[in-house]
Amino acid sequence: MTFPAELKYTKDHEWIRFEDDDTAVVGVTDFAQKELGDIVYVDITTVGQTIEEGEIFGSVEAVKTVSDLFIPVSGEILAFNDELESAPELVNEDPYGKGWMVRIKITGSTDNLLSVEAYKELIGE
């Protein structure tokens, strides 16, 4: 499994990549996509909404389960990765690249995010 050091992580297995001071991209970690198995559908209907840290911003459906997605920081959902509508498997194939889920405008604290080292410890890596 890979965990890029430049990203921040959450206990709920999301990652966040800061694009600038107030914009970031969010997705699920390599660990999460492996645990879920083959992802067949990504459901995100929160574009344009402001979501508080830890709230659900969507869900992913795998062959055997459905899992909620939790926003790592408070912010407004600016965009959804439209490629996931026709190719949800991108989350499995490239979770930190083409499998990104939403772009957000950050409105809250980033203090609760985990470093790569803390995330690896959380999952027992």
Domains in the chain (CATH in brackets) are 21-108 (2.40.50.100)
Alpha-carbon gap, residue 25 to 13, rounded angstroms: 14
Q: 38-90: per-residue pLDDT in tens?
A: 999 999 999 999 999 999 999 999 998 999 999 999 999 999 999 999 999 99
Computed over every residue of the chain, the mean pLDDT equals 95
Alpha-helical segments (H) within the chain: 30-36, 83-86, 90-93, 116-123
Q: Using the 8-state DSSP alphabet, how is residue 7 labeled?
A: S
Can you give the pTM of this predicted structure? 0.93
